[in-house]
Amino acid sequence: MKLVTSKQALVECLGIVNKAVSSRSSIQVLSGVLIDARPDGIVMSATDMEISIKAPLAGRVDQPGSLVVPARIASEIARSLPTGEVTLEQRAGETQVEIRAGESLFDLHSLPAVDFPQLPAPVGDGFTVGKAAFLETVDRVAPSASRDETRPVLTGVLIHFNKTDVRMVATDSYRLSVKQTPIESSVENTLQAIVPARTLLELSRIASGVADDTITIVPTENQMLFQVGGIYLISRLIDGQFPNYRQLIPETFDYEVAVDHDEVLEAVRRVGLLAQKNAPLRLRFADNTLAVSAESQDVGKAHEAMPIQYSGDALEIGFNPEFLEAGIAAVKEPTVYLRFISPLRPGLVKGASDDFLYLVMPIRLSD
């Protein structure tokens, strides 16, 4: 095999596929990247058997062939190379791949391509969605998914597609994000699936750097393929029953407070610095004032007040500062509405429109 590319192209392509490289598997080949050089082009691939990524590498193929290189060291080598042309060559009968750029020369151990697993290739009819609206929904909802693998269904995002909009839901049992977004879609029938949040966040990272305006989606019974700009991301789907999130959202609230988005977000961020070691961030509403405070033993305390329109009974409620900050930050409107029932019931964070809502469990406060 012999191919010629550029440092920039090599670094960028490795940066894309490396997110699918396994960091925990005992199978050596899964910690590598497959380089497949064919007369019609070069493709790099990686998989951890849950998600797989294939990306085209710009370059010239002088001699077709394929091999697997260790992902981590190959990426470090690529970044260290001098700017300009890079040649990768493996001579017949050798296991080493030679990487040359300028006066730099590396001989890197490789593995045979035959050891690399056959990547899943979903087949069937696909559909397209508008990229910008789809990724915005991902970025606002997916962070609420759980990272706890003991409840796999909560590590995913419930996605419901139809011709006019897409709805995404994620929860880690402490908070819940729901967003319904008008979107241009060519889907024929309604479709629902639980997609790993990790997959969607990687898709957002990859697709945001691609010029294409649409994402092609090909679903199968247990996998989903996303294609954008010649890059393929293939993911397993999560099998299971997603919680009935509609039952979790209270129909009515006893308190509603409108606050300035940027002002309250900055206050929560500042005061939250002192809410350490699971200490709550306290919100106290009384006499047209919102007081934000936190205190951590052995660290210190912080307090900040801001004027609001509030004339009801005094209300004090506590939250995980990280969760509250994430909910406020996900609202993209100048005014945030905070709705409450009691200090022990979930609070709702939303903008004026109904397309996004964020439900967060409170922390019981001690006097």
239 in Cβ contact with 222 (< 8 Å) = yes
Please indicate, yes or no, whether residues 322 and 262 belong to a single structural domain of this protein: yes
The verdict on residue 68 lying in a domain is yes
Tell me if residue 209 falls in helix, strand or coil: coil
The domain spanning residue 259 has which CATH number?
Answer: 3.10.150.10
Please indicate, yes or no, whether residues 97 and 137 belong to a single structural domain of this protein: no
What pLDDT, in 10s, does the model give residues 294-322?
A: 999 889 999 999 999 998 899 999 999 99
Tell me if residue 293 falls in helix, strand or coil: strand
73 in Cβ contact with 80 (< 8 Å) = no
Q: How many domains does the chain have?
A: 3
Q: pLDDT at position 367, please?
A: 67
The last residue of a domain, from among 212, 245, 278? 245
Pairwise CA distance, residues 168 & 203, whole Å: 15
List of residues 6+ apart from 166 with CB closer than 8 A = 129, 133, 134, 137, 159, 160, 180, 181, 183, 185
The two tokens of residue 325 are 């900050």
323 in Cβ contact with 175 (< 8 Å) = yes
Q: In whole angstroms, how far apart are CA 267 and each of 46, 262, 270, 281, 325?
A: 43, 9, 5, 11, 10
The last residue of a domain, from among 86, 115, 144? 115
The verdict on residue 102 lying in a domain is yes
The verdict on residue 257 lying in a domain is yes
Pairwise CA distance, residues 196 & 152, whole Å: 9
Q: Using CA of residue 191, residue 195, residue 200, residue 203, what is the dihedral sign?
A: negative
Please indicate, yes or no, whether residues 235 and 292 belong to a single structural domain of this protein: no
HSE of 242, CA atoms in CB hemisphere, 13 A? 23
The verdict on residue 67 lying in a domain is yes
Q: In whole angstroms, how far apart are CA 224 and each of 51, 53, 126, 186?
A: 10, 12, 10, 16
The verdict on residue 293 lying in a domain is yes
The closest of 349, 350, 351 to 360, measured between CA atoms, is 349
| Location of structure tokens 């011709």 | 163
- Under DSSP, the state recorded for 273 is T
Please indicate, yes or no, whether residues 89 and 182 belong to a single structural domain of this protein: no
Q: pLDDT at position 185, please?
A: 85
- Under DSSP, the state recorded for 145 is S
Please indicate, yes or no, whether residues 171 and 63 belong to a single structural domain of this protein: no
The verdict on residue 121 lying in a domain is no
282 in Cβ contact with 294 (< 8 Å) = yes
The verdict on residue 173 lying in a domain is yes
Q: Which residues of the chain have pLDDT under 50?
A: none
Pairwise CA distance, residues 357 & 137, whole Å: 12
Which range of residues forms the domain containing residue 339? Answer: 249-360
The last residue of a domain, from among 85, 115, 145? 115
The two tokens of residue 235 are 């993911």
List of residues 6+ apart from 88 with CB closer than 8 A = 1, 2, 3, 4, 5, 35, 97, 98, 99
Please indicate, yes or no, whether residues 102 and 6 belong to a single structural domain of this protein: yes
Please indicate, yes or no, whether residues 317 and 240 belong to a single structural domain of this protein: no
- Under DSSP, the state recorded for 240 is S
94: left (phi over 0), alpha (psi -120 to 50) or beta: beta
Please indicate, yes or no, whether residues 240 and 257 belong to a single structural domain of this protein: no
Q: pLDDT at position 6, please?
A: 98
The two tokens of residue 266 are 């900055």
Please indicate, yes or no, whether residues 219 and 313 belong to a single structural domain of this protein: no
The closest of 252, 238, 254 to 196, measured between CA atoms, is 238
Please indicate, yes or no, whether residues 210 and 285 belong to a single structural domain of this protein: no
The verdict on residue 79 lying in a domain is yes
Whole-model pTM over 0.85: yes
